[in-house]
Amino acid sequence: MLKIKNFKATDQEFKDIIKIYNLVSHDEILDYLDSKKRWDIRDKTLISDKLLLYNHNNLIGFLAFDFGRDENSKTAEFSIFLNPKHNNLNHMETLYQEMLIRINFFNCTKIFSGSWDHINYQLYRKFLNKNGFKCVQINKESFCVISKINVDEYKPLIKRLEEDGIKFFDSKTELTKHPNHYKKLEELSWKYEQDIPIPDGISHTREPFNQFLKEQIYFENNEYGIEIVAVKNNKYIAATDISINHKAQPKIGWTGSLGVLREFRRKGIATALKIKAINSLIKKGVTEIRTDNEENNPMYQINLKLGFEPAPTQFDYLKVL
């Protein structure tokens, strides 16, 4: 007998949810304790929830959804994950219809989801198309075995940038005690994030500084691979951060973001940040980096030039209610 239950964030629920997620995910493996910690530091001013689908007392799937902030406060993003043994359109529809009932209470006007060009998500893409979702953005996923990159090739580039007054620092070990470090880091990330392509119908919004700081400290204490900041005349002009799931996938780095302020672009700073980060990760025993870039993001071409190889493409879907 099928039944949808409310999410109570218990240890057992997280264990069961992450077990299903790891069965479906084509690349990322999560640890349930890390996922629980991430749930605890979420911005509690925003609406986030999960719907749990049980067959008798066994969890067979779940739907996670949350609302954005400010201009996106009426837009809900959701994902459905089903145990492959129970993966069918009827179960997806059951969770989806229950979500519609709940988000209607908040006068939701748009719903957003993502999927990949991979067999594990083939049925989910069929479900989204069946329910009238339109693909609004394509994101190019890629990976790189970093030992194959000839980092010495880029020494002249880094030397030229340093001679121009641009210095590169490890954010955690070299900058945290500098005055206003976290304020400057948040300001930098907000500036370059506004230039990242996003789907039509979605707006860039800025999270409160206290939430940024909470997530940054969590990253430094739990997932830190490397974060490199480029500085000129004491101004933060570019940065990249790469996280590591130290328990489940300690050899893989996941790129969070990479950005350069507009007035400093086309100088090779983005490539230098990548090389600096790769050098650090190699010393830590990391063997691979994963990343994704919007189809029209110039960073995708930089990654290909460095030796990144294509992985399953991600598709973003949107539906106006």
Q: What's the mean pLDDT in 252-260?
A: 95
Examine the pLDDT at 224 and tell me if it is beyond 90.
Answer: yes
pLDDT of 269-300, one tens digit each? Answer: 999 999 999 999 999 999 999 998 877 777 77
Q: What's the mean pLDDT in 6-19?
A: 98
pLDDT of 260-272, one tens digit each? Answer: 999 999 999 999 9
What single string gives the DSSP state of each residue in 46-83? S-EEEEEEEETTEEEEEEEEEE-SGGGTTEEEEEEEE-
> Cα angle at 149 between 241 and 168, to 5 degrees?
40
The SS3 assignment for 7 reads coil
Q: Whose CA is closest to 66, among 27, 108, 129, 11?
A: 108
Query: What confidence tier does 306 reach under pLDDT thresholds 50, 70, 90?
Result: confident
Q: Which two tokens stand for residue 173?
A: 């070990």
Examine the pLDDT at 304 and tell me if it is beyond 90.
Answer: no
The SS3 assignment for 103 reads helix
Lowest mean pLDDT among 5-19, 111-125, 221-235, 299-313: 299-313
Query: What confidence tier does 301 reach under pLDDT thresholds 50, 70, 90?
Result: confident
What pLDDT, on a 0 to 100 scale, did the predictor assign at position 299? 77
Q: What's the mean pLDDT in 222-227?
A: 98
Q: Which two tokens stand for residue 298?
A: 């110039």
What residues does each domain of the chain span? 2-132, 142-314
CATH of domain 142-314: 3.40.630.30
Q: Which residues of 272-296 are buried (b: 16+ CB within 10 A; e: fewer)?
A: bbbbbbbbbbeeeebeebbbbbbee
Residue count (the chain):
321
What pLDDT, on a 0 to 100 scale, did the predictor assign at position 244? 97
Query: What confidence tier does 100 reach under pLDDT thresholds 50, 70, 90?
Result: very high
Q: Which two tokens stand for residue 163?
A: 């001679």
Name residue 110's beta-bridge partners. 75, 320
**pTM, entire model:** 0.94
Q: How many CA atoms lie within 13 A of 297 on its CB side?
A: 28
Q: Which residue blocks in the chain are alpha helix, DSSP H?
A: 11-24, 32-40, 89-104, 122-130, 155-163, 181-193, 209-218, 269-283, 298-306
Residue 43 near residue 22, CB atoms below 8 Å: no
Cβ neighbours of 12 (radius 10 Å): 10
Q: Which two tokens stand for residue 26?
A: 């084509």
Percent of the chain with pLDDT over 90: 91
Query: Do the first three CATH levels of 2-132 and 142-314 match, i.e. the same topology?
Result: yes
Q: Which two tokens stand for residue 188?
A: 């930098």
What pLDDT, on a 0 to 100 scale, did the predictor assign at position 294? 77
pLDDT of 149-197, one tens digit each? Answer: 999 999 999 999 999 999 999 999 999 999 999 999 999 999 999 998 8
What pLDDT, on a 0 to 100 scale, did the predictor assign at position 201? 83
CATH 3.40.630.30 matches 2-132:
yes
Query: What confidence tier does 84 reach under pLDDT thresholds 50, 70, 90?
Result: very high
Query: What confidence tier does 217 reach under pLDDT thresholds 50, 70, 90?
Result: very high
The whole-chain average pLDDT of the chain stands at: 95
Residue 231 near residue 166, CB atoms below 8 Å: yes
Residue 187 near residue 236, CB atoms below 8 Å: yes
The larger pLDDT score, comparing residue 305 to residue 104, is at 104
What is the Cα–Cα distance from 5 to 246, expressed in whole angstroms? 32
